[in-house]
Amino acid sequence: MTSKQRAYLKGLAMKIDAILQVGKGGLTPELCISVDEALEKRELIKLSVLKNCFDDPKEIAQIMAERTRSQVVQVIGKKIILYRPAKKDPKIQLPR
């Protein structure tokens, strides 16, 4: 992913709310399945890491990206933005 594409996705992500939360249980298999399904539907999602989760948000983002075959767009504080183009009918067109 180029820096121009990353900047474009960051701009899109500013307008969306976090749809999933990582709590004290950390990265559970159920959470990974939910993230995978959300990425297939939306392509770009935002996760929120709750205060009671003691894991590092950057580590959570990397592990989640590996498990869902997505890309980490950005990690700001306790917010994680992930992107993966949909297999069928991708909606987001990245700049070249």
Chain segment 26-83, per-residue pLDDT in tens: 888 999 999 999 999 999 999 999 999 888 999 999 999 999 999 999 999 999 999 9
Residue 73 DSSP SS3: strand
In angstroms, the CA 60 to CA 49 distance is 9
pLDDT value of position 32: 92
Domains of the chain with CATH codes: 3-83 (3.30.110.60)
On the question of pLDDT at 1 being above 90, the answer is no
Cα separations in angstroms, 80 against 8, 59, 88: 16, 10, 24
pLDDT value of position 54: 87
